[in-house]
Amino acid sequence: MSPREQLSFIEIEIATLVWEGHTNPEIARLLGTSEQVIKNHLRCIFDKLGVWSRLELALYVASHGGRRWALRLPATTDRGRLAVAPAAEISV
């Protein structure tokens, strides 16, 4: 299983939003959650991908296709989780 396949849909969306340059408060607002929840997700993402910082995460996403990295997902997984709409589709 690749590191990306270990991520949940929300973790992939958060990683992509970091790559796009959004701050934690902006990501929290876009996804309708708290900044602390975003920080918790980022810790899990860092562990799963083996990166240590937001910069390393952004470079990881960029080197694996940027937005295309997130778009290669089906609408649901075998665990029944639903995908989060891409940031461009989230109204603020």
pLDDT at 65: 85
Instruction: Tell me whether residue 92 is in a domain.
Output: no
- The whole domain housing 34 covers 4-87
pLDDT of 17-45, one tens digit each?
Answer: 999 999 999 999 999 999 999 999 999 99
Identify the pLDDT of residue 73. 52
- Give the chain's domain count: 1
CATH at 40: 1.10.10.10
Phi (first) and psi of residue 76, to 5 degrees: -135, 165
Residue 12 lies in a domain: yes
Cβ-based burial of 75 (10 A; exposed 0-12, middle 13-18, buried ≥19): exposed
pLDDT of 16 higher than 70: yes
- Indicate the pLDDT class of residue 4, thresholds 50, 70 and 90: confident
Predicted TM-score of the model (pTM): 0.74
What's the whole-number mean pLDDT along residues 71-82? Answer: 48
